Amino acid sequence: MNKCILVGNLTRDPELTQTQSGISMCRFSIAVNRNYSNANGEREADFINIVAWRGLAENCGKYLAKGRKVAVCGQIQTRSYDDKDGNKRYSTEVVADDVEFIGGGQSEGGGNYGAPREERAAAPKKLTSELKPVEDDGLPF
């Protein structure tokens, strides 16, 4: 069985394209923290390439952005090809079956993450929120 589940943050904005036959494809990569620290006490991360297809690709391209935390379920796929110099190269990526948008990315506490990425970038960021007192004479408790 070939199944993996990864949770990490996008390292760059996703790239949404279409094949020659019109099928949507979205590529992005995520940084996944390792469970241990290196000899210097620093946590390291692995950078995993992800590819999504069709409707899932369109949603990823529309709603994801650099820094956003996601959970990806999919299958590991390895391909080989010959580069321009004739050397054999290998590429490993995860073909996503499901992508869950689980975090607000770099600004966890705010942001309009239900809106497409273009609208979020244009929207003004609210740094603080004010709490207003509640009139308690109408409350049932």
Specify the pLDDT at position 123: 55
* Whole-number percent of the chain with pLDDT over 90: 70
What are the C-alpha distances in Å from 86 to residues 24, 71, 78, 80, 89?
A: 30, 36, 19, 12, 9
pLDDT at 85: 96
Inform me whether the pLDDT recorded for 107 exceeds 60: no
Average pLDDT score, the chain: 85
Residue 132: pLDDT band with limits 50, 70, 90: low
Between CA 84 and CA 78 the distance in angstroms is 19
Domains of the chain: 4-136 (2.40.50.140)
The predicted-structure confidence for 89-103, as pLDDT tens digits, reads as follows 999 999 999 999 996
62 in the Ramachandran plot: left (φ > 0), alpha (ψ -120 to 50) or beta? Answer: alpha
pLDDT digits (tens, 9 = 90+) for 1-27: 999 999 999 999 999 999 999 999 999
Q: Can you give the pTM of this predicted structure?
A: 0.72
pLDDT at site 109? 43
Of 70 and 115, which is predicted with more confidence?
70
